[in-house]
Each structure stands twice: as structure tokens, then as C-alpha cells.
């Protein structure tokens, strides 16, 4: 790889240990993937934050990097394993809370904004069309590439941190025009409504097409909430970083692919059926990816004056929760006995085995709920989640 003199200084350790290590990671990845040079990035999202995933080893490495590492561009953070303020009422142990806080402190020392959300694009880290960025968090990567039209590869925690500390990323993959073109057309004939059905579509596409870049037609309109659900699910089940939706994705397409798959109502139904397990429900979670203000308002109005009979987590970003506090949504939701949990979610919180059955509107939540956390799961609409909660 060709490095500029400034990049060589970073690689030679002139800016300290962390910057050198960061450059070492980026150069190695660049060599593996055939990059010729580094390009500047203007925004980074770092994943790998929950202490449940990092444990001592990850924390130790981050602490080492935080000794002299400082971010050079706007950098935000993925969800933690707990609500940083109100962790006790989520049943988090003192031990876990202490360790999670050490992780957050290490990130904070490096100048990372500890947003603790998987939806950076809802809280001020919003890249524009064509902007080069380095994000981890598979759902946000997909959203940045496919909805915003920004350009990022699928970074892991350390390579995203490397980009933050150097302000660079190796130029390969989705940073290049010719690597962003669609390879297969996905004709959606199904009528889709609501986050859970868009999540089901993500599962169908992911399993049918894998990492192939699709050109999706037949979706005349979709809300931000539906798109973030589709992104999360498609990335989970297909490992994709980019897809095109006709009329939504800003990237110019030079040729619409000839190879076509068709997605019908039956496909969507089958995907939902495949996820739904026979189980009683004792845990309801909405907000994977993190709930928007509109979702909190909707849920608040649905729950007003009702009482939930199960553990209910509505997970969201801290700034969104603060606005919900101001608007009285939090009062309505928590008055009904449900909890708004900021900074965390049902995927990364240390709740393995704590519940029997999870009801959620998130197809991604189903995947990690049944795999990692060993729950039985049911995918349903937000309305049905709320009915289930108060039943």
C-alpha cells in the first residue's frame, strides 16, 4: 500500500502506541483486500461495547489503546450491556455494572462520544450521500450504505477504532464505485406493512441471496422504522452491507441486473412461521434497532392507562429517551409498568437464559434471542407485542 508521509508517521509510531497499532491494523486489512491507498473518513461507529462480549481481554486491549489514543473524527459508540444510569432496575449485577463502566470510561478517554446506540444516524452521526465512513454494527452499516448512500465496509470493533484513531480507512470494497453495483434483482410482490414484516423480508432476502448486492423493486414507500428493521434483519441473515431499493437508495445504478428472484406474500409468511416457536411469553422487547421518537410516541399512546403483566423493555438511545421524558411518553409507558431502557438492548444485555419466551417485532432480535440468549421467540407486530404484554 502507498502511504502518505503523515500516514507513515502514524505507522512509525510518531503519534504514539495506539495510533501505530491502529495503522498496523488498517495496513494489514488493506493488503489483504488489495487496497492501494488510505482514504480519509469523516465518521466512525465503534461496536463491541458490551462487557458480556468483550470480557477482560477486550477491555484490557481497549484500556491499552486508551493510554495514548485519541480519535481524529466524529466517533460514536454501539449499545452497552446495560442502561448506564438505571441498570439496577434491569436486574444487572453490581459486578457487571462496574466492568461495563470501565469499558465506557476507556472509550470516553479516547474522545469517543458514548452515545451507546445502534442507530447513530438518529442521534447526530449522520453521514451524507457519497461520504466515506468506517462503521461497525451490521444494521447501521446497512442503513448508512443503502438508505443514506454513505460508503462503509463491514468493520469490526478494532478496525473501526483504528479508523477513528487515524481518520483513515483502506480504500477497497464498498468505498469503490464498481463494488457497489447490484448483482441480482429482487422483485417484491408481497404487500408489506410494519417493522416485523420488513424484518421478515430481510430474512427472506438474506437467506435467498446471501451477500450478493440486490436491487429491490416493489416497495413504493417505507418508513425510517421499517427501513432500519429491514437493514438489521438483512445484515443478520445475509451478512450484507449494501442493497439498493428502487426510489430510496441514492446510489446511481448503471445496469439493473437481469437475474431476478421474486418475493411473495407466502415467502414472508413462511419466514415469520419459521421464526415463531411454540412458547409462553414472559419477556417483550421493542427497539431492535433502537426505537425512534415516533415509535415511543406510538407505544406510549397504546399503553396509556393499561398495565403490563410481563417484563417489557422498550430500548432506545439516550437522547431519544430524554425527548420522550419531556413529552410525557416515558411517564405513559412506565406508568403501565413497562421499562424504557436507554444505552442497551435485548441483544447485548447479559440476560442469557433469564427468560423463557421473547416476543418482539425484530427479526434480528429473534436471531440473537434464540441463539445467544437461549430464549424461545415469537415475531409479531408492535400492536401484537403490546397486546401480548398486557394479556
Partner 1 sequence: MQLKGRKIYKGKAEGEAIVTKQSISFYGGVDPSTGTIVERGHELEGKSITGKILVFPTGKGSTVGSYVLYQMSKNGKGPKGLVLKECEAIVAVGCIIGEIPCIDHIDIEKLTTGRHLILDANKSALEFK
| Minimum distance, C-beta of residue 29 to partner 1, in the bound complex (Å) | 6
Compute the distance between CA of residue 333 and CA of residue 353 in angstroms, rounded to an integer. 26
What's the half-sphere exposure (Cβ side, CA atoms, 13 Å) at 61? 13
Question: How crowded is residue 368: how many other Cβ atoms within 10 Å of its Cβ?
Answer: 19
Judged by CB under 8 A, the stretch of 57-65, 92-100, 181-189, 199-207 that binds partner 1 is: 57-65
Closest alpha carbon to 191 in 149, 226, 144: 226
What's the half-sphere exposure (Cβ side, CA atoms, 13 Å) at 60? 3
| Minimum distance, C-beta of residue 372 to partner 1, in the bound complex (Å) | 8
Q: Applying CB under 8 A, does 287 fall inside the site for partner 1?
A: no
Q: Applying CB under 8 A, does 68 fall inside the site for partner 1?
A: no
Q: Report the residue number, 216 or 347, with the smaller CB distance to partner 1.
A: 347
In the sheet with 74-77, reading across from the earlier edge strand, the strands are 74-77, 43-46, 134-135
| Minimum distance, C-beta of residue 161 to partner 1, in the bound complex (Å) | 10
| Minimum distance, C-beta of residue 185 to partner 1, in the bound complex (Å) | 28
Site map 141..180 versus partner 1, x via CB under 8 A: --------------xxxxx---------------------
Compute the distance between CA of residue 266 and CA of residue 2 in angstroms, rounded to an integer. 51
| Minimum distance, C-beta of residue 94 to partner 1, in the bound complex (Å) | 23
Q: Applying CB under 8 A, does 36 fall inside the site for partner 1?
A: no
Compute the distance between CA of residue 257 and CA of residue 316 in angstroms, rounded to an integer. 37
Q: Which of residues 81-140 bind partner 1 (CB under 8 A)?
A: 136
Q: State CA 291 to chain mean position distance.
A: 12
| Minimum distance, C-beta of residue 54 to partner 1, in the bound complex (Å) | 6
Q: Applying CB under 8 A, does 246 fall inside the site for partner 1?
A: no
Residue 183 phi/psi, 5-degree rounding, is -115, -15
Residues that bind partner 1 (CB under 8 A): 21, 24-25, 28-29, 31-32, 47-48, 53-58, 60-61, 136, 155-159
Amino acid at each position: 500500500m502507498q502511504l502518505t508521509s503523515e500516514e507513515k508517521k502514524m505507522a512509525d509510531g510518531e503519534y504514539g502506541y495506539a495510533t501505530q497499532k491502529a495503522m498496523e491494523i488498517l495496513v494489514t486489512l488493506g493488503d489483504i483486500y488489495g487496497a492501494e491507498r488510505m482514504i480519509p473518513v469523516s465518521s466512525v461507529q465503534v461496536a463491541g461495547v458490551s462487557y458480556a462480549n468483550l470480557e477482560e481481554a477486550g477491555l484490557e486491549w481497549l484500556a491499552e489503546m486508551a493510554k495514548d489514543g485519541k480519535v481524529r473524527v466524529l466517533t460514536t459508540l454501539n449499545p452497552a450491556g446495560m442502561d448506564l444510569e438505571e441498570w439496577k432496575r434491569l436486574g444487572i449485577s453490581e459486578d457487571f455494572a462496574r466492568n461495563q463502566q470501565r469499558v465506557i470510561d476507556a472509550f470516553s478517554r479516547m474522545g469517543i462520544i458514548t452515545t451507546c446506540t445502534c442507530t447513530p444516524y438518529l442521534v447526530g452521526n449522520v453521514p451524507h450521500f457519497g461520504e466515506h465512513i468506517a462503521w461497525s454494527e451490521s444494521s447501521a452499516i446497512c442503513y448508512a450504505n443503502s438508505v443514506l448512500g454513505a460508503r462503509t465496509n463491514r468493520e469490526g470493533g478494532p478496525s473501526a477504532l483504528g479508523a477513528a484513531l487515524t481518520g483513515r480507512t483502506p480504500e477497497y470494497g464498498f468505498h469503490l464505485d464498481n463494488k457497489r453495483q447490484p448483482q441480482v434483482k429482487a422483485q417484491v410482490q408481497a404487500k408489506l406493512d410494519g417493522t416485523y414484516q420488513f424484518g421478515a423480508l430481510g430474512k427472506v432476502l438474506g437467506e435467498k441471496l446471501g451477500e450478493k448486492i440486490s436491487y429491490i423493486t416493489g416497495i413504493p414507500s417505507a418508513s425510517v422504522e421499517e427501513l432500519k428493521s429491514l437493514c438489521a434483519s438483512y445484515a443478520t441473515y445475509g451478512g450484507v452491507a449494501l442493497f439498493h431499493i428502487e426510489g430510496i437508495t441514492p446510489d446511481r445504478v448503471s445496469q439493473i441486473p437481469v437475474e431476478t428472484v421474486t418475493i411473495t406474500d407466502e415467502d414472508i409468511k413462511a419466514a415469520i412461521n419459521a421464526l415463531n416457536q411454540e412458547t409462553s411469553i414472559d419477556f417483550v422487547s421493542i427497539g431492535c434497532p433502537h426505537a425512534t421518537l415516533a415509535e415511543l410516541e406510538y407505544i406510549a399512546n397504546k399503553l396509556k392507562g393499561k398495565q403490563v403483566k410481563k417484563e417489557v423493555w422498550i430500548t432506545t438511545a439516550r437522547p431519544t429517551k430524554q425527548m420522550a421524558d419531556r413529552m410525557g411518553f416515558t411517564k405513559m409507558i412506565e406508568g403501565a409498568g413497562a421499562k424504557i431502557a436507554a444505552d442497551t438492548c435485548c441483544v447485548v444485555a447479559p440476560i442469557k437464559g433469564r427468560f423463557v419466551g421473547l416476543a418482539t417485532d425484530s427479526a434480528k432480535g429473534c436471531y440473537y434471542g434464540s441463539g445467544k440468549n437461549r430464549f424461545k421467540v415469537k415475531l409479531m407486530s408492535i400492536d401484537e407485542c403490546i397486546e401480548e404484554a398486557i394479556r
